[in-house]
């Protein structure tokens, strides 16, 4: 493994955590990712180049074959018409040359189309590899608890990307993991996918709005709408509805609708088989005003009054 610093680039053992020459930190996972990506890029470019060369050779062969057929046909007709006045021969000659030129032009156009397809394929491959690298790097940063670094990488994805729904939820998770619930609520409100289809996208957005909108009636209302849509999209799938039940239990609790909160909490317990709810011990839950938090513990979670 080489040292990542250009001023050093010393070779190190795979098990080394720090460079033996300059003491810089080594990142074996990152180097393995880069080697894997480099190998994949080389293979794909080689494949595209081979396909382009093969199609070019086939096209050139067809051009030569058609030209030969035309010239042989032309020669036969000239011999057949040997007794015809020179003016007629010149006319036939001119006709066949023009026809051959058309075929040559058609072949050139085909070659240009092949070149365009190869160029488009190369650009598509480059974009796909760039996206895969970004996702891999963001996952690595998240695993190393660098939530802000992962968040910045994920925000580079355009809203029209096919995987934007997954990216949207991952950004919210990064914000929640670093404890910035207000930022998660704002991001959910301003960047919700225009064509969201998955129930989890609505549930994640609703949860973010709810957690970041404590004490804000309008934000809580928006969270309720998101969660109601999430429940519709589960289509009776109990496995998927458990997270929605959990979110709805909290939302009803924050909306002071304690009976409904207890109802959804009971549904969540029945699906998961859990007896205790871990959410009240979360960091964001501790931000709630103490008197209201104690009320939730007794009215919804069934804890004895202190």
First to last CA, the chain: 59
Q: How far is CA 263 from CA 32, 168, 181, 210, in A?
A: 50, 30, 26, 18
Residue 225's pLDDT band (cuts 50, 70, 90): very high
The residue ranges of every structural domain in the chain are 29-143, 157-299
Largest distance between two CA atoms of the chain: 122
Asked if 19 contacts 8 with a C-beta cutoff of 8 angstroms, the reply is yes
Please tell me what DSSP assigns to residue 205: H
Number of other residues whose CB lies within 10 A of the CB of residue 298: 13
| Local structure of 187: helix, strand or coil | helix
Tens digits of residue pLDDT in 102-130: 777 777 777 777 777 777 666 667 767 77
Asked if 227 contacts 209 with a C-beta cutoff of 8 angstroms, the reply is no
- Residue 131: its pLDDT value, please? 78
- Residue 156: its pLDDT value, please? 86
Tens digits of residue pLDDT in 228-276: 999 888 877 777 788 888 888 888 888 888 888 888 888 888 888 877 6
Name residue, tokens 């934007």: 164
Helices (H) and strands (E) in the chain, counts: 10, 0
C-alpha torsion 58→59→64→70, nearest 10: 120
Q: Which of the listed CATH numbers 1.10.1220, 3.10.150, 1.25.40, 2.40.50 matches domain 157-299?
A: 1.25.40
Residue 80's pLDDT band (cuts 50, 70, 90): low
- Residue 139: its pLDDT value, please? 87
Residues in the chain: 306
Mean residue pLDDT of the chain comes to 75
User: What percent of the chain is modeled with pLDDT above 90?
Assistant: 7
Tens digits of residue pLDDT in 41-71: 667 667 666 665 666 555 555 655 666 676 6
Asked if 278 contacts 269 with a C-beta cutoff of 8 angstroms, the reply is no
Structure tokens at 241: 């509805």
Q: How far is CA 96 from CA 76, 90, 106, 194, in A?
A: 12, 10, 15, 59
Sign of the torsion angle spanned by Cα atoms 203, 208, 211, 212: negative
Tens digits of residue pLDDT in 210-223: 888 777 888 889 99
């Amino acid at each position: 493994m080489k040292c990542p610093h250009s001023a050093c680039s010393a070779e190190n053992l795979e098990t080394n955590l720090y460079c033996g020459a300059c003491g810089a930190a080594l990142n074996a996972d990152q180097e393995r990712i880069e080697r894997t990506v480099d190998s994949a890029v080389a293979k794909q470019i080689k494949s595209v180049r081979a396909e382009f060369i093969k199609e070019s050779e086939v096209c050139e062969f067809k051009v030569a074959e058609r030209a030969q057929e035309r010239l042989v046909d032309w020669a036969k007709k000239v011999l057949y018409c040997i007794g015809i006045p020179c003016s007629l021969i010149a006319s036939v000659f001119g006709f066949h040359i023009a026809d051959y030129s058309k075929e040559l032009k058609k072949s050139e156009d085909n070659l240009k189309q092949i070149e365009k397809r190869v160029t488009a394929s190369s650009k598509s491959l480059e974009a796909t590899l760039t996206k895969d690298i970004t996702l891999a790097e963001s996952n690595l940063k998240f695993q190393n608890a660098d939530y802000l670094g992962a968040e910045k990488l994920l925000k580079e994805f355009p809203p029209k990307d096919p995987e934007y729904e997954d990216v949207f939820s991952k950004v919210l998770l990064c914000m929640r993991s670093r404890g910035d619930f207000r930022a998660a609520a704002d991001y959910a409100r301003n960047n919700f996918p225009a064509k969201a289809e998955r129930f989890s996208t609505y549930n994640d957005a609703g949860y973010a709005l709810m957690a970041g909108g404590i004490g804000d009636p309008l934000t809580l209302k928006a969270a309720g709408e998101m969660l109601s849509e999430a429940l519709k999209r589960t289509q009776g799938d109990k496995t998927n509805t458990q997270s929605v039940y959990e979110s709805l239990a909290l939302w009803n609790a924050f909306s002071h609708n304690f009976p409904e909160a207890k109802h959804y909490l009971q549904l969540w317990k029945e699906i998961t088989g859990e007896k205790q709810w871990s959410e009240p011990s979360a960091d964001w839950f501790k931000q709630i005003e103490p008197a209201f938090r104690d009320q939730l513990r007794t009215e919804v979670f069934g804890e004895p009054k202190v």
